[in-house]
């Protein structure tokens, strides 16, 4: 089955989240808010996702740390697709069909988005 997420590139999704989360490239540590951070390579499993380390507290984080996307098993492109379809006011069943996912997974995703 051909779905919306097949049209989306993971690299572009990571870039979009990065630009929206850090407007103007002003990155701050999600742990202490410090802006003294340095890039620390890319994620091993997600080569387009930037990693950082805070100079103040030495915590490591990436572009998704502290967001609704943290630690989720669905790829970022699936989450972005889900958010887009939620914005069109589609039902959970319709989103599940469009993304070729079980309805329960979509229900969990949409519930997590609304709670935040």
pLDDT tens-digit series, residues 13-47: 899 899 999 999 899 999 999 999 999 999 888 88
With cut-offs at 50, 70 and 90, classify the pLDDT of residue 3.
low
Domain ranges of the chain: 4-115
pLDDT on residue 69: 86
Query: What's the rounded mean pLDDT across residues 67-91?
Result: 89
pTM comes to 0.77
Distance, in Å, from the CA atom of 32 to the CA atom of 59, rounded to the nearest integer, reads: 9
Write the Ramachandran bin of 107: left for phi over 0, alpha for psi from -120 to 50, otherwise beta: alpha
User: Could you tell me which residue, 44 or 102, shows the higher pLDDT?
Assistant: 102
């Amino acid at each position: 089955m051909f779905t919306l997420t097949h049209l989306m590139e993971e690299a572009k999704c990571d870039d979009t989240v990065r630009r929206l989360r850090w407007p103007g490239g002003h990155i701050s540590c999600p742990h202490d808010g410090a802006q003294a951070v340095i890039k620390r390579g890319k994620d091993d499993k997600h080569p387009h996702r930037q990693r950082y380390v805070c100079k103040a507290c030495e915590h490591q984080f990436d572009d998704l740390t502290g967001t609704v996307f943290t630690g989720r098993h669905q790829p970022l492109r699936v989450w972005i697709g889900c958010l887009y379809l939620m914005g069109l006011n589609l039902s959970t069943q319709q989103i599940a069909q469009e993304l070729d996912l079980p309805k329960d997974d979509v229900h969990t995703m949409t519930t997590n988005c609304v709670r935040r």
